[in-house]
Amino acid sequence: MTGGSSGGPWILNLGVSAKPDAGLTYGKVTTRNAVVGVTSWGYTDNGIKIQGASMFATNDEFPNAKYGIRGGGNIGAFVDYACEWGWGMQALGFCR
- Per the prediction, the chain carries an average pLDDT of 84
Taking the whole predicted model, whether its pTM rises above 0.85 is answered as no
Per-residue pLDDT of 22-63, as tens digits, reads: 888 777 777 778 888 888 888 888 888 888 988 888 889 999
- Any residues with CB less than 8 A from the CB of 28 and at least 6 apart, and which? none
Per-residue DSSP letter, 67: B
**Edge to edge, what strands does the sheet with 51-55 contain?**
9-12, 34-42, 51-55
